[in-house]
Amino acid sequence: MAHQLIGYAVFLPLLGFLINGLVGRKLRSENLVGIIGSATVGIGFVIACVIFFEMMGSGVEERVHIVHLFSWISAGSLNVSFAYQVDQLSVLMMLIVTGVGFLIHVYSIGYMHGDPGFWRFFAYMNLFIFAMLNLVLADNFLLLFLGWEGVGLCSYLLIGFWYDRKFEKGTTGDAAKKAFIVNRIGDFGFLIGMFLIFVTFGTLNFQGVFAQAGTMSVGSPVIFWMTLALFVGATGKSAQIPLFVWLPDAMAGPTPVSALIHAATMVTAGVYMVARCSLLYALAPATMEIVAIIGAATALLAATIGLVQNDIKKVLAYSTVSQLGYMFLALGVGAFAAGLFHLMTHAFFKALLFLGSGSVIHAMHGEQDIQKMGGLKKYLPITYWTFFIAMIAIAGIFPFSGFFSKDEILWKVFSNGTWGLWLVGLVGAALTAFYMSRLTVLTFDGEKRWGSDKHPHESPKTMTVPLIILALLSVVGGFVGVPASLGGGNAIDHWLEPVFERANLVMALPGHGMETIEYVLMALSVGVGVGGILLARLWYLKKQEVPQQLSTKVPGLYKLLWNKYYVDEAYDAAVVTPIQKSSETLLWRIVDVGMIDGLVNGLAKFFGGVSKVIRMGQTGVAQNYVFVFLLGVVVILGWLIAH
């Protein structure tokens, strides 16, 4: 059966990592390194497709397989093995990871051409794919966590890939550290959640946990804390409030890294994890509310920040944070399938946007400030058109993929009765359309704002072909989720239904609302999307003085947005600096130097002192030695006589 090939699919990228990591530098041929790196992922994609088709052909009950590789930890009551749960959800994630990953690997062959760390890049990327596959395929929490940590590590390695480059106020290494540390804070929450799960259910295995959870009652406090702790981990990995601050800084890494890790895959790990634990979240309505509110708030907050950013990658980074907020919003109201649908379409068009921006940056020889671009559509036609398609998709215009997924989410939020959140989502959609259009216009349209020192030209085929493929997917990718109201069968919802069956039973979702309302909402969201696009085109192409005037009329608001609400500064003052200062004074000076060093040195000094006294016995006069000798003999003889 095809699902038994899963082991190969997961471990081939690891092999790629080892090959490229150990001998990549000596291979001397960029193409060979690139081919090895891409092929491992490509083969994984092929295997995923085979498994997928086999699943489609088999009955619904036979679609879940557990493939056991080897036993990992067996200690007391804790039994964890390297085993993969091949079901609808994990196969979907696997297709996304390997498919988009493969395209990005191919793109990187062109993008990273000439870089001295070429081999290192592909090694890290393969390691990342390995970790991510472990994450989405794991059948227990611990293996998931292994992948979770692994992708965090690879994120660190890849963000700081150009380790000697400056980035904003520090180096790329600082950005990488920030990502890792903020992730770690979230991971602490994840660990607490895992401990609670083990204590409550006695196992870390998904099937075991969910079987027992089915017997628990809704609203029990332990499940609340468990799911909340896991969600903290998700906020760290998926850049939600309050742990989103690392994602914009992560743009210090090469653009393919941003596309793969910080758009399509790693940041979606939190969404996947919550979806996988849908039953647990269904049993904790309070946590679901928190998830939804945070998702909506993040979506809005990030969108507002993205309005005024001038770095092409920063805008896309905040856009990612915002779209992830939408996914969590969906999860929070119980629309798990919708959230995952949006995850898939977002992977397509966000990866496309990042890769396109990479093409632009490549053509402009490293320039990333959109205020210094403009008029590039003449020089980079393929990049322009694919970027444009992606922009329309993310704005949610019918019939592109983003429309179906985002609309599904908004519809589910509305019919859940949470109109406030729906409104926030709608406003967010409008802002999304606006700032994405602004980005496109400032980059590609209008007059060129750059000098004759730049010679932009279209990128090579290894870079443009993935762009085209992703654009195609952005166009047609939505058709797997056409809702019933528009005559479709909502294939993706049905596909994922068995995974969320138990959760749906617990939640007793409200039934489908009136179809007319659904049409109204659809029209509204398309309307605000189109409106946002057109307004941006108006302001930035024709009436360019309007945004200028706005920024001078409300300088306070503009500054607030431009400085990202001063969140970084707040964290720095409240958390980072106190910890640093207290570590330095207390832990370093007092404990480390004073106590530990003092103890070690003191011990040495003590022995020195003792030996100084004892060595006085060596007088060098032989008679003294004879004297002592005799003394000993006398004592021993006396003892022998006495006994």
Partner 1 sequence: MFLIVASLAIASALLMILQKNPVMSAIYLIANFFCIALLYLLLQAQLLAVLQIVVYTGAIMVLVVFVIMLLNLGDETKLTEKFDMKKIISVVLVTGFLIEMVYIFGFSGDGIGRMPMSSQAANLGTVESMGAALFTRFLLPFEVTSLLLLAAIVGAVVLARKQS
Partner 2 sequence: MPVSLASYLALSAILFTIGVAGVLTRRNAIVVFMCIELMLNSVNLTLIAFSSFMGDITGQVLVFFVMAVAAAEAAVGLAIVISLFRNKQTVNIDEINILKW
Give the residue, chosen from 4, 627, 632, 637, that forms a contact with partner 2 under the rule CB under 8 A: 627
Query: CB under 5 to 8 A by kind: which of partner 1, partner 2, none does 615 bind?
Result: partner 2
With CB under 5 to 8 Å by kind, the binding choice for 622 among partner 2, partner 1, none is: partner 2
β-pair partners for 74:
79
595 binds partner 1 (CB under 8 A): no
Between 419 and 629, name the residue whose CB sits nearer to partner 2.
629
Of 224-232, 385-393, 546-554, 621-629, the segment contacting partner 2 by CB under 8 A is: 621-629
Stretch that binds partner 2, among 49-57, 190-198, 237-245, 625-633 (CB under 8 A): 625-633
**Stretch of residues binding partner 2 (CB under 8 A), selected from 86-94, 290-298, 461-469, 613-621:** 613-621
Q: Least distance from C-beta 593 to partner 1, angstroms?
A: 49
Residues 299-338 that bind partner 2 (CB under 8 A): none
634 binds partner 1 (CB under 8 A): yes
Does 630 bind partner 1 (CB under 8 A)? Our answer is yes
Can you tell me the distance from the alpha carbon of 530 to that of 525, in angstroms, rounded to the nearest whole number?
Answer: 9
Partner touching 638 among partner 2, partner 1, none, CB below 5 to 8 Å by kind: partner 1
The answer to whether 636 contacts partner 2 (rule: CB under 8 A) is no
Residue 608 touching partner 2 (CB under 8 A): no
Q: Does 630 bind partner 2 (CB under 8 A)?
A: yes
Q: CB under 5 to 8 A by kind: which of partner 2, partner 1, none does 631 bind? A: partner 1
- Contact segment (CB under 8 A) with partner 2 among 65-73, 301-309, 359-367, 617-625 equals 617-625
**Residues 429, 410 contacting (CB under 8 angstroms):** yes
Residue 295 CB-half CA count within 13 A:
31
Q: Does 625 bind partner 1 (CB under 8 A)?
A: no
Residue 281 CB contacts under 8 Å (≥ 6 apart), including other chains: 227, 274, 287, 288, 291, 331, 503
Number of Cβ atoms within 10 Å of the Cβ of 643: 5
Place of tokens 């472990």: 134
Report how far apart, in Å, the C-alpha atoms of 432 and of each of 311, 338, 435, 445, 510 are. Answer: 16, 19, 6, 19, 29
Residue 532 makes CB contacts below 8 A (sequence gap 6+) with 395, 429, 430, 431, 432, 433, 434, 437
Closest CB 615 distance from partner 1, rounded Å: 20
Residue 622 CB, nearest distance to partner 2 (Å)?
Answer: 6
| 142-201 positions binding partner 1, by CB under 8 A | none
| Interface with partner 2 (CB under 8 A), residue from 114, 366, 555, 620 | 620
199 contact partners, CB below 8 Å, separation of at least 6: none
The H-assigned helical ranges of 138-268 are: 141-159, 172-201, 206-213, 221-237, 246-249, 255-259
CA neighbours closer than 13 Å in the CB half-sphere of residue 214:
11
Q: Is 637 in the site for partner 1 (CB under 8 A)?
A: yes
Cβ closer to partner 2: 596 or 637?
637
Read off the tokens for 638.
């006396």
Only one of the segments 143-151, 537-545, 567-575, 634-642 lies at the binding site for partner 1 (rule: CB under 8 A); that segment is 634-642
CA distance 401 to 569: 37
CB 526 within 8 A of CB 396: yes
CA distances from 158 to 122, 151, 161, 193, 446 (A): 10, 10, 5, 28, 35
9, two tokens: 């699919």
The option from partner 1, partner 2, none interacting with 591 (CB < 5 to 8 A, set by class) reads: none
* Contact residue for partner 2 among 613, 622, 640, 642 (CB under 8 A): 622
Counting contacts by CB under 8 A, is residue 619 touching partner 2? yes
Q: How far is the CB of 610 from partner 1 (least distance, A)?
A: 26
Near partner 1 by CB under 8 A: residue from 226, 444, 627, 643:
627
Alpha carbon of residue 542 to chain centroid: 38
Distance in angstroms (rounded) separating the CA atoms of residues 311 and 244? 18
DSSP secondary structure, 449-517, as one string: -S-TT----PPPHHHHHHHHHHHHHHHHGGGGG--GGGT---HHHHHHGGGGHHHHHHHT------HHH
566 binds, among partner 2, partner 1, none (CB under 5 to 8 A by kind): none
Closest CB 616 distance from partner 2, rounded Å: 7
Using CA of residue 224, residue 229, residue 231, residue 235, what is the dihedral sign?
positive
Among 613, 616, 640, 641, binds partner 2 (CB under 8 A): 616
Among the listed residues 70, 553, 641, 643, the single contact to partner 1 using CB under 8 A:
641
Say what the alpha-carbon torsion angle 29, 31, 37, 38 is, to the nearest 10 degrees: -170
CB atoms within 10 A of CB 461: 12
Pick between residue 75 and residue 641 the one whose CB is nearest to partner 2.
Answer: 641
Q: 436 with 546: CB under 8 angstroms? A: no
Of residues 60 and 637, the one with the C-beta less far from partner 2: 637
Min separation Cβ 614 and partner 2, Å: 10
Per the DSSP assignment, residues forming a β-bridge with 477 are none
Applying CB under 8 A, the site for partner 1 has a residue count of 8
Q: Which is nearer to partner 2, 555 or 620 (CB)?
A: 620
Q: Which residue has the tokens 């088999």?
A: 58
State which residue, 75 or 640, has the beta carbon closest to partner 1: 640
Q: Does 621 bind partner 2 (CB under 8 A)?
A: yes
Q: How far apart are the first and last CA of the chain?
A: 87
Q: Compute the C-alpha angle 158/119/138, nearest 5°.
A: 55
Closer of 75 and 641 to partner 1 (Cβ): 641
Contact letters (x/-) for partner 2, 514-533, by CB under 8 A? --------------------
Only one of the segments 72-80, 122-130, 417-425, 631-639 lies at the binding site for partner 1 (rule: CB under 8 A); that segment is: 631-639
- Chain positions contacting partner 2, by CB under 8 A: 615-616, 618-623, 626-627, 630
Q: Which residues bind partner 1 (CB under 8 A)?
A: 627, 630-631, 633-634, 637-638, 641
